[in-house]
Amino acid sequence: MARRHLIIGGGTAGMNAIRTIREEEAERSEIMLVSAEKPYSRMVLPYYLDRSISESHVFTATAAVLAEWGAKTHLGRRATNLDTKASVCTLDDGTRLEYDDCLIATGSSAVKAPVPGAELPGVHSFWTLDQCRALIADVKPGGHVVMVGAGFISFTILNSILSLGAKLTIVEIAPRILPRMIDDTGASLVEDWLTRHGVTIRTDARLNKIEDAKGKKRLKFAKGGDLTCDAVIMATGIRTNLEWLKGSGIRVNQGVVVDDHLRSNVANVYAAGDVAEGPDRLSKSGVVHAIEPTAQEHGRVVGANMAGRGVGYAGSLVMNIVEVCHLDVASFGAWDDGKAEATVGVKRDRHAYRKLLWTDDRLSGAIILGPSSDIWTTNDVGMLKGLVQSQVPLARFKAYLKTNPFDIKPAFIAVKTAGRLLPETVLGRPAKAPGETPVAV
C-alpha cells in the first residue's frame, strides 16, 4: 500500500484526488502537493472578471483546508523533473520529493497566435488568475476589446466583457465561429444573435501583426481593414503541460497516455484532467477532454486508486455548454460525425436549433441552441446530454424524434433515461456531503 502520495498540480483534478484519498483510505497516509499556483478554479474566472464574485471565491482550498487535509504543500513551486526509476520528483528550487505513487495533474496553458506583437503589454491570454488580474486592469467601460479566436474559451468570457460596458469585436481565422463546438447552421444562428446584441464578428480574418498605436493596440490582418482597440485577448488555443516530463519515460501523445484506471505506462504514476489522455465514454479510445467535469471525475478515480480501492473509469463524455447574451449553446458526444445519420430542426426566427446524430437507435451526439428564456431550451440541454450519456436505445421514439426534434421530453421520459443514469456513480458509491469531507470541490 502506497504511504506517500505526491500530487503535482493544484487544479480541479489535483484537489479532487486529495479529497478522495482522504475519503477512501483506511489509514491516514502522507500527501504532498506541489503546485505552481495556489488551488483555484479556472472555470469561475469569468465571474471574477466581471466582479460577480470576489477574488477570494475563486480559491478551491484555502491554507486552512489544506492543513485540515494534512497535505504538505509546496505552493508556487514547479515540478521540473520526474525520475520514475527512483520515484523522485525534483522541483524548481532543487527540492527532491520521494513518493510511493504520484499524480500528474499539471493541466494546460494558453497559447498565443505566433504573430509579431503578441507579447506586447495589453495583449492578454485568459487562462490563469494572474492573467485575469491583468485583464481586469485593462477593460474599462466604453473601451474596445478585441478577442482573437471565437472558440469555447472566448465564449465563456464574452458576457463578462459586455457587462463591464466595453465594446467587443471577435475575430476568427476560420470561416465561422465556434468551429470546434457546433456546425455551420448553429454557428450562423449564434453569429446573428450576437450581432443583434452589439458584438462585432469578423470571420476568415487572419491576424498578421499587433502594434502599439498611441496608447492603444492596432491589429493588422491579411485582408480587410485594421482594428484599433484598448485591449486584446488571445483565445487561440491551449496545450497540455507536458514538457517537464521529458526523459521521465512516461508515455505521452496529445496528453499522458493512461489506461482505464488512469494509470500511465509507469505503474505508480497516474495522470488526470487536462493533461491526461484518458478513455472517451462512447468510443473508449484515448482523448484529451480539456473540460472541468473530466478533470473532476479523473481526480476522484485516481484518488480512489491511490487509496488502494481499484476503481475503473467508464470514460468521459465530451461536452461544451455555454450561455452568451442569454442564448444557450451546447454540444455533446460525436456532434461532428459526418457519417452519422442526422436529424435537424431549425427555427431561425427564434434562433433555435437541434441536431441529433444517430448510431442505430441511440443518440451518439447532439447540438442544441436556443434562447435561455425558452424553458424548453434549458430543459432540453440536460435531457439531450442524458440521452447521449446513457446511450439508451430509443426504439420507436427514434421515429418520433426524427419528426419532432424539438420535443425531447416524451422520449427522455419514456425510455427511462434518468432511471438509467441515477444509479451511476463515479466511484461506485454516493458522493459525500460537505461536512463529511473537509471541502466540496
Q: How far is the CB of 321 from ligand FAD (least distance, A)?
A: 7
* Complex with ligand FAD: residue 47 or 400, whichever CB lies closer: 47
Which whole-number Å values give the CA distances from 431 to 112, 297, 299, 434, 437, in the listed order?
A: 39, 12, 14, 9, 10
Alpha carbon distance 156, 42 (integer Å): 11
Q: Where are the alpha helices (DSSP H) in 269-332?
A: 292-306
Q: Where are the alpha helices (DSSP H) in 370-416?
A: 375-390, 397-403, 409-414
Q: Which stretch binds ligand FAD (CB under 6 A): 38-46, 162-170, 173-181, 279-287?
A: 38-46
Span 233-252, contacts to ligand FAD by CB under 6 A? 241, 244
Alpha carbon distance 176, 187 (integer Å): 6
* Complex with ligand FAD: residue 238 or 392, whichever CB lies closer: 238
Interface map 104-143 toward ligand FAD (x if CB under 6 A): -xxxx-----------------xx----------------
* Complex with ligand FAD: residue 158 or 171, whichever CB lies closer: 158
Residue 153 contacts ligand FAD per CB under 6 A: yes
The HSE-up count of residue 173 (CA atoms within 13 Å, CB side) is 14
Span 340-379, contacts to ligand FAD by CB under 6 A? none
Residue 31 contacts ligand FAD per CB under 6 A: no
Render 185-244 in DSSP notation, one character per residue. HHHHHHHHHHHHTT-EEE-S--EEEEEEETTEEEEEESSS--EEESEEEE---EEES-GG
Residue 144 contacts ligand FAD per CB under 6 A: no
Residue 336 contacts ligand FAD per CB under 6 A: no
Size, binding site for ligand FAD by CB under 6 A: 35
Residue at grid coordinates 425531447:
408
Residue 13 contacts ligand FAD per CB under 6 A: yes
**Which of 273, 279, 315, 333 is close enough to bind ligand FAD by CB under 6 A?**
273
Q: Between helices 292-306 and 12-24, what is the axis angle to 10°? A: 30
**Which of 46, 278, 303, 365 is close enough to bind ligand FAD by CB under 6 A?**
46
Residue 35 contacts ligand FAD per CB under 6 A: yes
Number of H helices, E strands in the chain: 11, 26
Q: Are strands 200-202 and 167-171 parallel, antiparallel or unpaired?
A: parallel
**Which of 14, 122, 278, 279 is close enough to bind ligand FAD by CB under 6 A?**
14
Residue 7 contacts ligand FAD per CB under 6 A: no
* Complex with ligand FAD: residue 42 or 362, whichever CB lies closer: 42
Span 295-334, contacts to ligand FAD by CB under 6 A? 295
Alpha carbon distance 286, 289 (integer Å): 10
- Enumerate residues 6+ apart whose C-beta is below 8 A from 51: none
* Complex with ligand FAD: residue 368 or 415, whichever CB lies closer: 368
Which whole-number Å values give the CA distances from 53 to 43, 44, 124, 247, 254, in the listed order?
A: 12, 9, 21, 42, 34
Residue 82 contacts ligand FAD per CB under 6 A: no
Residue 36 contacts ligand FAD per CB under 6 A: yes
Instruction: From 375, 376, 385, 293, select the one nearest 330 (Cα to Cα).
Output: 385
Residue 187 contacts ligand FAD per CB under 6 A: no
Residue 79 contacts ligand FAD per CB under 6 A: yes
Q: Which residues contribute to the site for ligand FAD (CB under 6 A)?
A: 8-14, 34-37, 42-43, 45-46, 78-79, 105-108, 126-127, 153, 156, 241, 244, 273-275, 290-293, 295
